[in-house]
Amino acid sequence: MATLRKDLFAPEVYEDMGNAEFKKKIVMAQAANQDDTLVGMPGETVVFERWETLSEIEDIDEEDVLEVESMTQSASSATIKEAGKAVGWSDRAKLVGKGNLQDQLIQQYGELTARKVDSDLMSAALLRVPEGRYYADGRPATPTNPLSFNAGETTGFSYNPIVDAAQLVGDDFETDEWAGLFINSLDRATAMKDTQFQQANQGDGYNGLITRGRIGDVNGLAVVVSDRVPVGKSLLLKKNALSVKWKQRPWVEQDRDILARKTVVAIHLHYATKRVNDNGVIEINWNTAK
């Protein structure tokens, strides 16, 4: 009897549906810039460039000659990493098991890859590198750190420390430019009981950006729940302050051992994550002395 397509697990089905599940499950990555320019390019290290800000415009007199200022760039680097997982089963397990194995595998692959990328983005958001930023014009390298605010004796979500933390960026805090406030699930109940909290309508998005994890708003910002946020911290995150550069998006391959009557499906991905705007990440430390 001939083997039909319906009898086989199609890797392209896993890949397409797995990527769809990945996009549905990501939380941190919703707010990050995602770049595919590394696809097909050689190398294991990626450079994240950024433009330096020009100095302020000055008053001049009639006969003054303007000084020419150069546009310069700074950069930081990250190592491309590979992550993956393989799942195998016997023909017998597939035949006697209950439920749709393919659908379950696609769902779990999507969720696991989303958690992995979100975790790496969170690590990048909080990473402190003493000489992490170097300059095209040869200036000495400088530290790269997120902004940090200690909330004092406040043990969890509270309106006043959030407002105070936003003050770290001065007049650069335009709420429509910020992705939101990311909190750990342990702070969800406290957040929803806060008198300044506004609960989101079910299924409602935020500025067309945040769709998963959002429970409401505070101070004009989306409040987003993710357990990738460390316990005892919250994160104010500007749009595109974090970046993911993809060498290869989640990719699925299948192997079949006909003698052992076993099937293995593996997923792997290659990417690098980086904080590209230090002033776009504000780490709030609850229950920490000011």
Q: pLDDT of 200-220, one tens digit each?
A: 765 454 444 557 899 999 988
> What one-character-per-residue DSSP string does 209-231 give?
TB-SSEEEEETTEEEEE-TTSPT
Is a pLDDT exceeding 50 seen at residue 130?
yes
Phi/psi zone of residue 211: left (φ > 0), alpha (ψ -120 to 50 degrees), beta? alpha
- Supply the mean pLDDT for the chain: 85
Instruction: Please state the φ and ψ torsions of residue 29, each to the nearest 5 degrees.
Output: -65, -15
Strand segments, DSSP code E, in the chain are 33-35, 45-51, 73-79, 81-90, 129-135, 142-144, 147-150, 178-183, 198-199, 214-218, 221-225, 233-238, 242-257, 262-275, 281-285
Is a pLDDT exceeding 80 seen at residue 153?
yes
Q: pLDDT of 236-266, one tens digit each?
A: 999 999 999 999 888 888 888 889 888 888 8
Quick one: DSSP state of residue 186?
Answer: G
Q: For residue 128, how many C-alpha atoms fall within 13 Å in the half-sphere facing its CB? A: 7
Q: pLDDT of 65-108, one tens digit each?
A: 888 888 888 888 888 999 999 888 888 877 776 667 777 887 88
Q: What pLDDT does 172 receive?
A: 87
Q: Which two tokens stand for residue 273?
A: 């994550």
* CATH code that applies to domain 5-51+73-285: 3.90.1690.10
Answer for the pair 234, 187: CB distance below 8 angstroms, yes or no.
yes
Q: How confident is the model at residue 5 (pLDDT cuts 50, 70, 90)?
A: very low
- Greater pLDDT, 254 or 234: 234
Q: What is the rounded CA–CA span in Å between residue 30 and residue 42?
A: 27
Write down the pTM of the prediction. 0.84
Count CB atoms within 10 A of the CB of residue 43: 9
Q: How confident is the model at residue 15 (pLDDT cuts 50, 70, 90)?
A: low
Q: What is the rounded CA–CA span in Å between residue 136 and residue 47?
A: 12
Answer for the pair 237, 281: CB distance below 8 angstroms, yes or no.
yes
